[in-house]
Amino acid sequence: MRILNIMKLLNSVAALILLSALCSCGQTIKDKSTYPDHVGDITFNKNVDDPNFKVCNQDRPPQYYEFGKGLQYEGEKPAIISHFKEKLKNRNLSGQTGYLTIRFIVNCEGKTGFFRIEGIDKNLEKMDFNKELVSEILEVTKQLNKWGVPSRGNTKFDFYQYLTFKLEDGRLIEIMP
């Protein structure tokens, strides 16, 4: 009887150890899925992304700043500002104040896709902006078609870019970066 109890106890301990190992294994897997390969990586989402948009290189697209030249667009930043000032409606939407960021990929042909949107208020806390306003800014962003494509030798690179729109009551104040 005593031997049987010891056996049961050992089984319980073994089960606990196994459970613990499974938990820690699960934890490790969870940790790995907590982060993408690199912060900010965007992967294809069939529900929102254009299936015709292709990233040219299999390697991870670098960030725009990794080329050391800042934002690369024909006509530089003033061309981007003019584009938005010309195309965006001049609105007065009380309370629509903060920062709307659109992240996307520019591929090796200078085409854009995989757009992701995030809004924060003036205190840099999460904020959901007016849907119509967001939709309009996104559409105008998609119309930007003079992105500089970094290259080396015969290889042209895709890259990650973002644009942040500083808004006050729905009016565009500044564009970053």
Partner 1 sequence: MIKFSSLVFTIITLNSFAQPNCNVYKMKNDEPCYQACLKASEAAELPQGSRKSQLLFDEAISQCPTFDYAYAEKATPYLKRGDFLTWKKLIDQAVQLNPLGQLGYRGWCRFQFLRDYKGAIADLEKLASLTKFDIGYCQNGDYHLNVAKALCYKALGEKKKAIEIIEKQLVQKDYSPMTYDYLHLGVLKMETGDTQQAIDYLKKSIAYNDYLAEPYYYLGLIYKNQNFKKEFKENMEKAKVYYLKGYKRADPYTHPMDKIFLSDIERELKNS
Q: Is 62 in the site for partner 1 (CB under 8 A)?
A: yes
CA distance 41 to 165: 21
Q: Is 129 in the site for partner 1 (CB under 8 A)?
A: no
Q: Is 101 in the site for partner 1 (CB under 8 A)?
A: yes
C-beta separation of 119 from 129 below 8 A? yes
SS3 state of residue 84:
helix
Q: Is 103 in the site for partner 1 (CB under 8 A)?
A: yes
- Distances in Å between the Cα of 29 and the Cα atoms of 26, 33, 54, 58, 141 are 5, 6, 29, 25, 37
Q: What angle do CA 122, 39, 52 make, to 5 degrees?
A: 95
69 vs 89, beta carbon nearer partner 1: 69
Closest approach, Cβ 69 to partner 1, in A, equals 7
Residue among 114, 129, 147, 157 that touches partner 1 (CB under 8 A): 157
Residue among 114, 129, 147, 160 that touches partner 1 (CB under 8 A): 160
Q: Is 40 in the site for partner 1 (CB under 8 A)?
A: yes
Q: Is 79 in the site for partner 1 (CB under 8 A)?
A: yes
Residue among 87, 91, 142, 166 that touches partner 1 (CB under 8 A): 166
CA distance 50 to 56: 15
C-beta separation of 104 from 137 below 8 A? no
CA distance 58 to 153: 17
Tokens 């973002």 label which residue?
162
Q: Is 35 in the site for partner 1 (CB under 8 A)?
A: yes
Cα distance from N-terminal residue to C-terminal residue, the chain? 75
Residue among 44, 70, 95, 109 that touches partner 1 (CB under 8 A): 70
Q: Rule CB under 8 A: which residues touch partner 1?
A: 31-32, 34-40, 57-63, 65-71, 75-79, 99, 101, 103, 118, 120, 122-126, 152-153, 155, 157, 160, 162, 164, 166, 174, 176-177
